[in-house]
Amino acid sequence: MFAVIKTGGKQYRVTKDDMIVVETVAGEPGSTVRFEDVLMIGDDGKAPSVGTPFLEQAAVFAEVVQQTRGDKIIVFKKKRRKGYRRKHGHRQALTVLRITDISPTGTKADTKSKAKPEPKAKAKPKTEAKPKKPAKTAPAAKTEAKRKTAAKPKAKKEPKAGKGAAKAPAKASAGSKE
C-alpha cells in the first residue's frame, strides 16, 4: 500500500517503513506524527483512491527519527558595474521520518502493543546501597605567583590641533625681508 502526502509545500509518495526527509515538523525524536493531508492511497493491483484535493478520514502516521539541518546554500546577489554584492548563507531545518502506518480510515492500528512482550518482574537488589562518604580534600600547596611590576606612569597628553586650538605662527623664511 502506498500514499501520497503533502507537507511543507511538497508532495511525497510513501509506503510503510519508508524513511523520508521533510521540512521541519514539530516533534521530539521518538514521537509520532499524523499527516491528514493525504492526496491519494493506492494498493497493488487495485485502482488508487484520489482525493479532491484530499481524501476524507485518511491519515499517514510517522515516527520522528531526528531533527537536523540541511547543507549550506550560498545566496549571492550582484548588480554588475554598480558595486552591489551581498553574500548570505542558509541551512534549512529538516526532519527525518519513518512511516509507520497508512490508514484509509484514519485510525492507527495498534501494532506496538502486539509486538511487545509482557514486562518481567523487577529483580530485588541484593544489597542496600551505602551512602557515599564525602571525599577528603587535601589542602593544596600554595605557590607564590610572580608579583606584578609597578604600573608605568601615564604619558602626558599634548592637545591636538583641532578646530578650537590656535595654530602656531609660521616661521619666517630666510629670503623674506620685513
Whose cell is 494498493? That residue is 43
Chain centre distance of CA 69: 6
Q: What is the pLDDT of residues 81-118, one digit of tens each?
A: 999 999 999 999 999 999 999 998 888 776 554 444 44
Which pLDDT belongs to residue 156?
A: 75
Select the more confidently predicted residue: 154 or 69. Answer: 69
> Nearest 10 degrees: CA dihedral of 124, 128, 129, 134?
170
Count Cβ neighbours within 10 Å for each residue of 5-20 and write b for 16 or more, e otherwise.
bebeeeebebeeebeb
pLDDT (0 to 100) of residue 174: 64
State pLDDT tens for residues 7-59. 999 999 999 999 999 999 999 999 999 999 999 999 888 888 898 889 998 99
Going by pLDDT thresholds of 50, 70 and 90, the confidence category of residue 154 is confident
In this prediction, residue 128 has a pLDDT band, given cuts at 50, 70 and 90, of low
The per-residue b/e assignment along 93-119, b for 16 or more CB within 10 angstroms, e otherwise, is ebbbbebbbbbbeeeeeeeeeeeeeee
Per-residue pLDDT band for 143 (boundaries 50, 70, 90) equals low
